[in-house]
Amino acid sequence: MHIERAYDPPEPGRRRVLVDRLWPRGVSKERAALDEWCKDVAPSTELRKWYDHAVDRFEEFSSRYQDELRHGDAGAVVERLRTAAQTGELALVTATRDIEHSGAIVLREFLLGGAGI
């Protein structure tokens, strides 16, 4: 499973799924080359605003986001993404600059089973 920025050219042969709640600014549908947009699996608006990409809050953000993934409405989407990750090349697409401190990295670890499931 890969993480790609929405602003970078897509890698061929990967199923591209946008995992942000907001559409990437300035990116057309054609340029994004997405197979799916999974808004429901993104961090809630409240959590996203609280985090505000403050690196010192990342650990707490990660914990809260995992709780949302476990107990929120994203269950069916999470299972579908897990299946897609196991059966082929899946790319989680995000607009964030700092991938290492993003919801996409938390989601990736969650889907792979390494996030305290």
Report helix, strand or coil for 17.
Answer: strand
pLDDT in tens, 73-94: 888 889 889 888 887 789 999 9
Burial 33-61, CB ≥16 within 10 A → b, else e:
bbeebbeebbbeeebbeebeeeeeebeeb
Sheet holding 2-5, edge to edge: 2-5, 90-94, 15-18, 36-37
pTM above 0.75, yes or no: yes
pLDDT of residue 117: 38
Alpha-carbon gap, residue 107 to 11, rounded angstroms: 20
pLDDT in tens, 90-115: 999 999 999 999 999 999 999 988 55
Side chain identity at residue 90, one-letter code: L
pLDDT in tens, 18-73: 999 999 999 999 999 999 999 999 999 999 999 999 999 999 999 999 999 998 78
Q: Would you kindly state where each structural domain of the chain is located, as residue ranges? A: 2-112
Question: Is residue 89 a contact partner of residue 2, using CB atoms and an 8 Å limit?
Answer: yes
